[in-house]
Each structure stands twice: as C-alpha cells, then as structure tokens.
Amino acid sequence: MLFVATFEHSADNCWAREQHKEKAREWIGTIDERAAEYDVELHGSYVTPNEHKLYFILEVDSFESVTGFLDSPFLEDHDGHIAPVHALSEVAELLLEE
C-alpha cells in the first residue's frame, strides 16, 4: 500500500531550533535503519522549512508499519495526517470503464 503522510509542527517545536537539534539528528540519522526494520520503502521525504511541514511517501504492507517507522519522538512532536493513496492512472481506468 502507498501512503502519503503530512506533518506539521509549531515554530517553537521546530527541530531546527538548538534545543531540538540532537533529537532531529538522531531521528533523521536512523531513518534508513527504521525503514528497514519496519519494512517501509521510503519513496520520498520532503520539508517546507518556512511552513514547518514535512511530507513522506511510503510504501508498506500495513498501517502499523507506518506508525512504527515514524514513532517516537516524531509522532509526539508533530501533528499529522496519514492517508492511503492510489495512482491516478489506476483510478482513471476504473472511472473511465464502460
């Protein structure tokens, strides 16, 4: 299953702030290890620094893998939305079927 995960944090809780940098280094530095541990294929990860938003495109077999991959402290410090998605071409085929 393919998921798009969108997260946001406040400016005060931004991991670029000095008091949060160690947490950011640890979490970001282990992203590949966690992906392997939870069998997550990370298709992309993006950030809009001025908006304090992060975006992930993940392919997994279960939703539990998504939450395990993101987990603490990320989910504690960010508000987010995780949604399963389908390629538009797949949906278009169903919609345009006669």
| pLDDT tens per residue across all 98 residues of the chain | 999 999 999 999 999 999 999 999 999 999 999 999 999 999 999 999 999 999 999 999 999 999 999 988 888 899 999 999 998 888 888 788 76
As a whole number of angstroms, the distance between CA 7 and CA 82 comes to 9
Domain ranges of the chain: 2-96
As a whole number of angstroms, the distance between CA 28 and CA 74 comes to 10
Q: Are 7 and 77 in contact (CB under 8 A)?
A: no
The reported pTM is 0.86
Query: What pLDDT, on a 0 to 100 scale, did the predictor assign at position 72?
Result: 85
What CATH number was assigned to the domain covering residues 2-96?
3.30.70.1060
Q: Which of 79, 75, 73, 69 is nearest to 7 (CA)?
A: 79
Query: What pLDDT, on a 0 to 100 scale, did the predictor assign at position 90?
Result: 84
